[in-house]
Each structure stands twice: as structure tokens, then as C-alpha cells.
Amino acid sequence: MSPEYAYRWKPIEPPSDVRALAIPELRAFEKQWQRQRERLEQSKALARFWEHLARRWSIETGIIERVYDLSLGATETLVEQGFLANLIQHGDSDTDPERLIAILNDHRDGLRMVMDLIGGTREFTTGWIKELHVLLCRHQNSVTAREQGGLGRLVEVRFEHGVYKKLPNSPTLEDGRIHEYCPPEHVASEMDRMMSIYRDLPGELPEVRSAWVHHAFTQIHPFQDGNGRVARSLASVDFIRSGLFPLVVDRSQRDTNYMPALRAADAGDLRPLTQFFAECQQQAIFRALSHAEDVLERTTRRATIFEAAQRKREHRSKTDAETRSMMRARLHALAASALEELRKVGKEAESRLRGVKSDTQTSDASNQHYWRQQIVDMAKRRKYWVDFGEERCWARLQLRDGGITDLVIVMHFVGNPSPGTCLAAAFLQHRDSTAQETTTGEFTLLPQEPLLLVPDEDEALQASRYARWLDETIVVALTEWQKRL
């Protein structure tokens, strides 16, 4: 009986319309980050953030590939304090601490090798990719494989580092079908073709180049194992070269964003993968700004408080007043559009669910200070700074169903002080119907990532991106709300 295939391998091809795959807002994010980068480089905050990000990349890239597991708590400890075996407690990982640290250091060295490539000390070739594979997989000595013929049992075989596969490595999926990768006899020619196509892609579109080379490499799957780690390294090259960050795919994104985007690329649509990679960069920039402000705050404690305060005042005065005014106007417009959408949702809830009542409200000069504590809580959990020296806007939908649930969309400036960067975020607040209006109630931070808003982005495109984010946020919020009914 011939096997059934979920995906049949085919030779790689260049993207049909490169410009259509570009994510315009990423250009605006790049400009905003480059302006902030100069300030942070002077304080050495950027170097610290880079090291933290490199550690996070080193951890997550192995978790995504299921080389090991590591608890979230231990992950944060290692990111903050460094790769030390004695920081890993019993139950934190399924791998011996000493071995885990060795693997993590291999991943970190692999990222340094990428940086050497960006610095011009190495050339991007198939030979370089083989060396990268050797480095990333240095402490992995065996790989699980299925015996050819017979019962097809799983066995441990010697892992050949930096050597193209000699046997097929196409996986059998949970439903019994096969996802076919490039046959061994075509690997060398396909890798050469990948490099040739890659060089012809426009360097000013790092998200397109990164998504394409990542997917092309995974289609080939040239090595016995470790292909995912190499693919994410290759996908980081153009982002770093553009002044951005290595591609960090968080474990929570594996099944919800990353794998679906790869499956879409398999079906011929690279856009979801390009979009996902751009969103990963947005999150990295957001964290860079937030983390760097935290580092700046700590480093300035060595100087006098008054000197630190004066630097902040000078920086705020240098930030273009016209830019801040423009962003305030945009936030008010976005709050108004959120209010309109929330009204529609409230009316729909009332018409579909008997006994449910709704109410909506938005911020004005008299109440913009509402929700301060919740905004602070969100900032602490997501580790960013809120610039309370600037205006903020919000829109609220209240649903009364025996309890009282508020869905709140907030928009505010971020930074300490803000360079004009803003974000939109959302949360739920729930209390019993008998509770007084001033009662805080139960705060729920929605899993939806905040939306970064920068002044360089075209206003119409920004509004369109915000509308998509708002629609997804409302769906997530209503899902949480209905669990309480």
C-alpha cells in the first residue's frame, strides 16, 4: 500500500510578487527604533538588552524544536542572570542542567556566528550554513530515526554534524500521512538554488527575505536534525542586518501562529509567515524600548536623582511637539473608532442574549485618568513603561449579565519619556452586580499582544492595522466573557 502524503516535496521557487509580500508598517517601526537606538547606545542599555534577547533566542529556539523543555520561571531567571546550571531547579527541565547549559551555549554561539556574518567577517554560503549547523548542534550526539524496512522501529543513531542527510527525513504526522522533504539526492543542488534566489531578493525588505529563506530551507530540510534551529538563524540574518533583532519565536506562538504560517507557505501563500515575522519584530522593538528604559532607570541611580530628572526633561523637550500632538490626535481617533465598534458588539449581545444589557463610554478631559491602576498592572506584567506625562485614551464596553464585565481598550504613550511611540492594549474587569462602582474587581489581562503605534506609519494604514487588531481583541475578550455566563 503506497503512503498517503499531506505534502509532496517540489523544487523551491522564488516568490511571485515580492513587493506584495512586504509589510509597510515594519518600515515605520525601523525608523522609530533607529532614532531611539542612538540614545540607548550611549547608555550601554542596548548591549544589555541584546544579551538578554540573545539568551531568550537561545532558549526558545530549542524549545520550539522540542530538543528540551524549560519552565517559564527558569527561562526568565536564565535570561536575566545568564546560563548557569545552578540556577536550574529540580523539575524546571526534562534535561540534565549541565547538558542543558551546554546546548544553550551552543545556540548562543550560533547567534554570534550570525553576527560575524553581519559584520562582514564571513560570507553567506552553503559552507557557512554547514558550519552553523555544527555549532548549533555541537552537544547533540544522536538523533531519533526510524529503521528502514521491517517494523520501522524508532532507534537512536549517530548525529552527523554539518553533513547533508543521506537518508530521507520526512516525518509521519499524527494522522499517519507523510510530510515529504527534499530527497537526499537533490539536497546539494536545492541548497545552491536557495542561495541563488535569496541573493536576488531585495535587501530592503528583510521580512520577505527572512520568511522566504526560512521556508525554502525547511522545504529542503538538508540535515538529519537541527533544521529548525538553522532556519530560525537564517531568518535572523536580514533582520539583524537591517538594524533589527533576531527572530524569536516564543513557545506560546508555535502552534497558534508559527506552524499555521508554515503550512500556509507550504500551500503557496508566504504572506502569513511574512506577517508573523514582522509581528515578531514589532514585539522585539516594543520590548527593546521597554527594557532599555528599565535599564536606563537603574543605571541613572548612580548619578544624582536631580541629574537623571534633568536628562529626562531635556529628552522630552527634544521630542518633536508636533509629533506628540499628531499622535494624541491619532489616539483620540482610534478611541472613537473603538467606541463605535464596541457599541455594535453591545447591541448584538443584547439582541442575541436575553437579559444581557450593555453600555459604552469613552475618555474625555474629565475621565482620561480612569483605569490608571489597570494600565500600571498591564505594564508591569508585560514589562514596559507608560508615559503618564502624556494624554491617554480609552473606550469601554460594559456587559451586565448578572455580573458586570468591562472590556476596556486603552491607548497611551510608552517610554520614559516617550519618543512619540504609543500602543493599544486591552483588558477585562469583572465584578459582582452587588459590588459598588468603585470596586476594582477581578482584572484579566487578555493574551492579545499590544499593538505598537509609531508616528512614521501612514495614518490610514495604521488605522487599518488597528481595526484588524481590535476585531481580534474583541473576539478574544468575548470568549473570555462567555466562560463566566
Among 38, 53, 40, residue whose Cα is nearest residue 416? 40
pLDDT-wise least confident of 52-66, 269-283, 429-443? 429-443
Which three cell numbers mark 142? 544522536
Average pLDDT, stretch 449-474?
94
pLDDT-wise least confident of 12-21, 76-85, 258-267, 309-318? 309-318
122 torsion bin: left (phi>0), alpha (psi -120 to 50), beta (else): beta
Whole-number Å distance between alpha carbons of 181 and 217: 10
pLDDT band at 297, cuts 50/70/90? low
What pLDDT does residue 151 have?
Answer: 45
Which three cell numbers mark 435? 459590588
Statement: residue 2 has pLDDT above 80: no
More confident residue, 262 or 1: 262
Whole-number Å distance between alpha carbons of 330 and 336: 10
pLDDT band at 295, cuts 50/70/90? low
Whole-number Å distance between alpha carbons of 309 and 316: 11
pLDDT-wise least confident of 148-152, 272-276, 365-369? 148-152
Statement: residue 425 has pLDDT above 90: yes
DSSP symbols for 260-283: HHHHHHHTT--HHHHHHHHHHHHH
What pLDDT does residue 419 have?
Answer: 80
What pLDDT does residue 389 have?
Answer: 86
Statement: residue 198 has pLDDT above 60: yes
Whole-number Å distance between alpha carbons of 235 and 224: 20
More confident residue, 402 or 164: 164
DSSP symbols for 171-200: PBPTTS-EE----GGGHHHHHHHHHHHHHH
Statement: residue 135 has pLDDT above 70: yes
More confident residue, 46 or 202: 202
Share of the chain above pLDDT 90, in %: 68
What pLDDT does residue 320 have?
Answer: 74
Amino acid (1-letter code) at residue 99? R
Whole-number Å distance between alpha carbons of 415 and 385: 5
Which three cell numbers mark 39? 540614545
Q: ∠ CA(60), CA(62), CA(64), 5° rounding?
A: 70
Which three cell numbers mark 346? 453591545
pLDDT-wise least confident of 169-178, 181-190, 414-423? 414-423
Residues in CB range of 50: below 8 A, 6 or more apart: none
What pLDDT does residue 233 have?
Answer: 97
Which three cell numbers mark 64? 520550539
What pLDDT does residue 149 have?
Answer: 44
Q: Each residue of 369-424: pLDDT tens digit?
A: 999 999 999 988 887 888 898 999 999 999 998 889 999 999 999 887 788 889 99
More confident residue, 314 or 33: 33
Whole-number Å distance between alpha carbons of 321 and 466: 24
Q: Each residue of 78-130: pLDDT tens digit?
A: 999 999 999 999 999 999 999 999 999 999 999 999 999 998 888 999 999 99
What pLDDT does residue 268 have?
Answer: 94
Phi/psi for 144 (5° steps) reads -80, 130
Produce one character per residue of 266-298: b if its CB has 16 or more CB atoms within 10 Å, e if not. beeebbbbbbbbbbbbbbbbbbbbbbbbbbbee
What pLDDT does residue 25 have?
Answer: 92
In this structure, the number of other CB atoms found within 10 A of the CB of residue 52 comes to 18
Q: Checking DSSP bridges between strand 142-146 and strand 357-362, what pairing results, if any? A: unpaired
pLDDT band at 467, cuts 50/70/90? very high
Whole-number Å distance between alpha carbons of 422 and 362: 18
Any idea where the domains of the chain sit in the sequence?
A: 5-288, 320-482
Q: What is the DSSP letter of 22?
A: -
Statement: residue 317 has pLDDT above 90: no
DSSP symbols for 27-57: HHHHHHHHHHHHHHHHHTHHHHHHHHHHHHH
Whole-number Å distance between alpha carbons of 398 and 360: 6
Amino acid (1-letter code) at residue 36? Q
Mean pLDDT of the chain: 88
Q: ∠ CA(449), CA(454), CA(459), 5° rounding?
A: 105
What pLDDT does residue 382 have?
Answer: 84
The CATH number of 5-288, from 1.10.3290.10, 1.10.10.60, 1.10.3720.10, 1.20.140.10, is: 1.10.3290.10
Q: Each residue of 30-45: pLDDT tens digit?
A: 888 887 787 677 667 7
Share of the chain above pLDDT 70, in %: 89
More confident residue, 318 or 391: 391
Amino acid (1-letter code) at residue 75? T
Residues in the chain: 485
Burial zone of 11 (CB within 10 Å; 0-12 exposed, 13-18 middle, 19+ buried): exposed
Which three cell numbers mark 184? 537526499
Statement: residue 298 has pLDDT above 70: no
Statement: residue 131 has pLDDT above 90: yes
Q: Each residue of 210-244: pLDDT tens digit?
A: 999 999 999 999 999 999 999 999 999 999 999 99
Statement: residue 310 has pLDDT above 90: no
SS3 state at 365: coil
Which three cell numbers mark 210? 527572512
DSSP symbols for 87-148: GPPTTSBSS-HHHHHHHHHHHHHHHHHHHHHHTTSS--SHHHHHHHHHHHTTT--EEEEEPS
What pLDDT does residue 150 have?
Answer: 38
What pLDDT does residue 469 have?
Answer: 96
